[in-house]
Amino acid sequence: MRTTVGIIGAGPAGLLLARLLHRSGIDCVVLEARTREYVEHRQRAGMLEQGTVDALREAGAADRLNVEGLVHQGIELRFDRERHHIDFPTLTGGRTVTIYAQTEIVKDLVALQLADGPPLLFEAEALAIEKPDSDTPVVRFLHEGREQTLTCDWVAGCDGFHGICREAVPAAAGRAYAHDYPYSWLGILADVAPSCEELVYARGENGFALHSMRSTRVSRLYLQVPNDTDPDDWPDDRVWDELAARFAVDADWTLRRGPITAKSVTPMRSYVHEPMRHGRLLLAGDAAHIVPPTGAKGLNLAVSDIRVLARAFTELHRSGSEQLLDDYSRVCLSRVWQATRFSYEMTKMLHAQPDGDAFESRLQLARLRRITASRHAAAELAANYTGLPLMI
């Protein structure tokens, strides 16, 4: 098989790139290791920056998002049993965020892709990228029980953090920067109306909790837990009791409980691979970088990489110029590092230190007080949370 852009991975990054290339008349093929059912039901992110919503609209993939997405004007910070609203439109000149699940974005993009192409192969696992620094890199992949090859002009490595594309970059040609955190998140999905109108980020004395949602009838909540926590050690009543304790405030507020339909533990890590290009292989999204979820940046960064990449391929197709492809890694990394910094700061500000460091705990409260007391500090949080510009 031969194509212009071989795309590895049908997560949000790979699927969106395929749509944008298709709209620019650029030929591509998407290879996805898992089944359609699996990728459409993998529970992950849910908070979309305005730029992400714009990109999905530009790709013609926002019909359902426009109807079902929940537009939020801000978030709530909870600490010391107090509630503080951070109002995005007044702090950012009108910006908002939208709640719409990653599972739904993937379903929308898969449906469009299968309806009018280009090819998207499920259960097609890329095994290796050969000659990524030549003019015709080759992807070896396993599909329908036999090994096949896809010869490309370019390869987009959109295969997530555990994919194989990053490994195709020789150690001497790149460098990774990583930071591990001493805690994880236990995430649940529950069939119960959200107990809040906007997302609540709570610093409880026993640790962090986040109240998010998927719709007016489904809640998504997260709880800081120790690394290597087994979800089976958290029966439903224990989850709800701990969430209720961490969200507790002096004001009149109660956490609604309901049947839990999914429960999983996610470790937290910051990781950036530089550069995001090796020869004709371009890494995008989680394949190149991951952040802890506290700032809700993972999915949004994947989408902003793809906006830059799609623009670069379109320019090459239109004018023959490789300038934007040459700029790709530098342009993306500047935004990636800003999101890495923000996610790190949000994480450190809101999670309990497992060693119970009292000095660190007081600093956390001082940071939170500063945000709620100073318009400048609140505006800085709002600007980062709603999304920095594409070119920074």
E strands along 24-108, which residues?
28-31, 47-48, 70-72, 74-79, 82-87, 97-99
> Does the protein bind ligand FAD through residue 11 (CB under 6 A)?
yes
Asked whether position 346 contacts ligand FAD by CB under 6 A, the answer is no
Which residue in 40, 285, 8, 12 sits closest to 121, CA to CA?
8
Q: How far is the CB of 34 from ligand DHB (least distance, A)?
A: 20
DSSP calls for 362-381? HHHHHHHHHHHH-HHHHHHH
Residues that bind ligand DHB in the complex, under the rule CB under 6 A? 45-47, 199, 210, 212, 220, 293-294, 296
- The contact mask relative to ligand FAD for 221-260 (x = CB under 6 A, - = no) is ----------------------------------------
Q: How far is the CB of 80 from ligand FAD (least distance, A)?
A: 25
Residues in Cβ contact with 127 at an 8 Å cutoff, skipping those fewer than 6 apart: 140, 141, 142, 147, 164
Q: Which residues, 6 or more positions from 375, have their beta carbon under 8 angstroms from its beta carbon?
A: 91
* Binding piece for ligand FAD, criterion CB under 6 A, among 38-46, 71-79, 81-89, 191-199: 38-46
Using alpha carbons, select from 156, 128, 155, 158 the residue that is nearest to residue 142: 128
Contact 6, 130 (CB under 8 A): no
328 is annotated as an active-site residue: no
199 binds, among ligand DHB, ligand FAD, none (CB under 5 to 8 A by kind): ligand DHB
Closest CB to ligand DHB among 157 and 207?
Answer: 207
Q: Cα separation of 377 and 286, whole Å?
A: 29
8 interface partner picked from ligand DHB, ligand FAD, none, CB below 5 to 8 A per type: ligand FAD
Instruction: Considering the complex, state which of residue 54 and residue 125 has its C-beta at the smaller distance from ligand FAD.
Output: 125
Choosing from 181, 201, 222, 328, the catalytic residue is: 201
Classified as helix, coil or strand, 139 is: strand
Binds ligand FAD (CB under 6 A): choice among 160, 194, 204, 207: 160
- The set of catalytic residues is 72, 201, 293, 297, 385
